Amino acid sequence: MILKTEQDLIDFGEQIGKALFPGALITLKGDLGAGKTTLTKGIGKGLGVTKIINSPTFTIMKEYQGEMMLHHFDAYRLEGEDSELGFEEIFEGEGVCVVEWPQYIEHILPEERLDLVIYKCMDQGREILCTPFGEKYVTLAKELEL
């Protein structure tokens, strides 16, 4: 999927947010500035979050109340972290989790999830590749026409 503008990225995120279910997990990979937090803003909008969503880089996780709780993680600073982080309980909860830089906590992520990779294009647009893991996420990807 190719998205041309920042607003397209937000709109796509909103579409995802409206289709999510309790306990959903979305992972977002991409270079710095690829649009991971922008996409998360759209997901939050789709979930009915009214607060401003920004990067949780220094706090690791931020939570936002909408129709479902949105748990927004930035795992960038957790590379090589082996201690018990307590995230597993959140992943197993009823809220929606969005994890930026999931490769740094891959060992604790549930196997079932929707992985999205965002690539910056030469024309400043974004290409998004989607990989669903688990039947719920395959169904979600089909519903979203990913």
**From first to last of its 146 residues, what are the pLDDT tens digits of the chain?**
888 889 999 999 999 999 999 999 999 999 988 999 999 999 999 999 999 998 877 778 899 999 999 999 998 888 766 556 778 888 888 999 999 999 998 888 999 999 999 998 887 789 999 999 999 999 999 998 88
How far apart, in Å, are the Cα atoms of 71 and each of 16, 47, 62, 74, 96?
15, 12, 6, 10, 6
Distance CA(44)–CA(42), nearest Å, equals: 5
| SS3 at position 99 | strand
pTM: predicted TM-score of the whole model, two decimal places: 0.91
User: Residues 34, 59: contact at Cβ < 8 Å?
Assistant: no
pLDDT reported for residue 4? 86
Q: How many C-beta atoms surround the C-beta of residue 116 within 10 A?
A: 25
User: Residues 57, 77: contact at Cβ < 8 Å?
Assistant: yes
pLDDT reported for residue 98? 96
**CATH for 2-80+87-143?**
3.40.50.300
pLDDT reported for residue 80? 62
User: What ranges do the domains of the chain cover?
Assistant: 2-80+87-143
Structure tokens at 88: 């597993």
pLDDT reported for residue 132? 97
